Amino acid sequence: MARKKNRMSQEVNAGSMADIAFLLLIFFLVTTTIASDKGILNVLPPKLDPNNPPPEIDKNERNIFTILINANDDLLVEGEYRDNANGLDEDIKAFVLNFGRPDEEASALFNTLPASLQALSARDQDSSDHPGEAVVSIKTNRGTSYEKYLEIFDLAKKAYFDIYAARVNLDTDEYRALTGKDEAEEALIDKGKEGIPMAISIAEPDKIGS
């Protein structure tokens, strides 16, 4: 009797196990969407308080880099028409680092910049005084496509990140990847930003022609 029992094979055939696992694997491979929480960070201005209107700011026209985007996604950059955004980031960089009329503080800042950034300074009297004063203003129309707006906003951010990264001797991608999770990273971020605030102003879109 005992012999009969032993004759039955006691092993489960595991040869097709790999196939079953493969099937499951392929199912999960196909259904997985790796959640990405990446994006472009923007901080909106505080809400308007009717009792406490924002102070009037007198800013010289030369300190504002105006980008207008109309409902046809055409660009008007500093009064000039453009049909694409190529090279806009370089223009913004040159604008921010113009140092047309630097005050004492700005001159000191200029001396701390690496040579590659100093070379961008044209000292044009009709462009920004110094980075602390420079503002990039983006104004859209209600009919402007979101895609175009994001492209321009992206380029403006790129200009600033390029400057910051060059100051701390990093690649732009490396600088952007800094999250400030320890003190060394935070120090790097601050060193890049010091004296050059990221001044990108998003104007309320106008309603005409949408």
Q: By the 8 A CB rule, do 68 and 149 touch? A: no
Sign of the alpha-carbon torsion through 156, 161, 166, 171: negative
CA distances from 98 to 121, 131, 146, 175, 179 (A): 4, 8, 30, 23, 29
Closer residue to other proteins (CB): 45 or 79: 45
CB of 21 to other proteins, least distance (A): 4
CB of 134 to other proteins, least distance (A): 18
Where along the sequence are the contacts to other proteins (CB under 8 A)?
Answer: 14, 17-18, 21-22, 24-25, 28-29, 31-47, 140-147, 149-151, 153-154, 157-158, 161, 176-177, 179-181, 204-205, 210
Q: By the 8 A CB rule, do 71 and 144 touch? A: yes
3-state secondary structure of 137: strand
CB of 74 to other proteins, least distance (A): 14
Closer residue to other proteins (CB): 62 or 167: 167
Q: Would you state the structure tokens that stand for residue 23, as one six-digit string?
A: 């099937």
The H or E element containing residue 31 is helix 17-31
Closer residue to other proteins (CB): 2 or 34: 34
CB of 9 to other proteins, least distance (A): 17
Closer residue to other proteins (CB): 60 or 145: 145
